[in-house]
Amino acid sequence: MTVLLLSAALGACTGNTDHQVTSAPRGAAPTAGTKACAATSDARASTEPVTLKVGVMPIADSAAFYIAMKKGYFTAERLTVEPVTVQGGGPAINMMKGGQLQASIVNYVTAFIAQSKSPGTLTVIAPAYQGAPGAFKLMTTPNSPIHRLADLATTDTKVAVATLHSVGTLTTKMALKAEGVSDGRVAFAEVALPDMSHNLDQGMTGVAWMTEPFITDWRDRGGRELYDVVMAGEAALLPIAGWGLTADYARNNCDIVQRLQRALLRGQHDAAADRAEVLDVMRTYTKIKPDVLQRITLGRFPTQFNVADLRHLASLVYTYEQLDKPVDVKAMLVPAPLPTITAPMSPAPATTSPAATPSSSPMLGRS
């Protein structure tokens, strides 16, 4: 499998993979194929400047990218990044396969589905976001006749999600099951996250799957919460998104991938350490008012892959999406490279505010 070779192959760029894995999955043996990356990347320590188009979304999940851009972490790696707004994981994966993007934020659910249908085509180089109570909710209008999820089974109301076959549809199906409602009785409609409020206002859908900052903004406008989809049970604290790219691009551009990964992880560490920095940078790429941003509920910014949690999520995807075969999660993950920087870095500004949303994962975490 291409990605199975890739996770070890990227380690070959540094000459060692052992230091990159803090805990291996139970019963797993080291992966083979460590020559794959070296065979396609002769200049392992290249500092050639590169321009990358990276898919982002105007939500908290993308905060680490914008922090890294603001603080010069990409520049330090001689990378010029051009953010491109995507509607969700499905469109982003298609754009990466088509060459319009080199990397993108992707929700793990969509990535796992794509990987199951076409093994060895995707890889994830860094975690981006993890769920927390209050960070993802089903919302409705103030005067909606829908007061509980069971009401969806007796109406023609559609549930708006950013994209189908995604974390939005999965967590909604899980919530419906928890409330004893068959998801076969509920229809979904694709709506871009920034358009959810307008969609509800116009009555095009009766319920919307929202994340921050749109939850707080909609609540301020009188919107009503219907269900917190990642609060408890099977859905508690689910991993939500990571930074992905195609296996072909990663295999053929080992050095560039490592440079991108280092910059993203530096931004991720900053996001995990300082809520104020996350809110400050979100002002630059969302259209939400500053006073609303101050009150949003953030998820978590893990700084390592939590293999156990990702496998749990993959098993849920396998069940709820009725996949033909399970996904080899570990094969999709690229361990962190050595912390070598290819160009001098400007010193990061000192911060004193404590982390409001620390990472729950202490690059591969517990398995």
User: Which CATH number fits the domain 2-22+30-129+237-332, given the four candidates 3.40.30.10, 1.10.760.10, 3.40.50.150, 3.40.190.10?
Assistant: 3.40.190.10
Domain ranges for the chain, please list them.
Answer: 2-22+30-129+237-332, 136-235
Mean pLDDT of 359-367: 50
Q: Which residues contact 15 (CB under 8 A, 6 or more apart)?
A: none
Q: Is the pLDDT of residue 181 over 60?
A: yes
Q: Which residues contact 132 (CB under 8 A, 6 or more apart)?
A: 230, 237, 297, 298, 299, 300, 357
Q: Which residues contact 117 (CB under 8 A, 6 or more apart)?
A: 323, 324
Per-residue pLDDT tens digits for 64-117 = 999 999 999 999 999 999 999 999 999 999 999 999 999 999 999 999 999 999
Mean pLDDT of 294-303: 97
Domain 2-22+30-129+237-332 shares a fold with domain 136-235? yes
Question: Residue 232 has what pLDDT?
Answer: 76
pTM metric for this prediction: 0.83
What 8-state DSSP symbol labels residue 71? T
Kindly report the CATH number that applies to the domain delimited by 136-235.
3.40.190.10
pLDDT band at residue 336 under the 50/70/90 scheme: confident
Let me know the angle formed at the C-alpha of 318 by 314 and 321, rounded to the nearest 5 degrees. 120
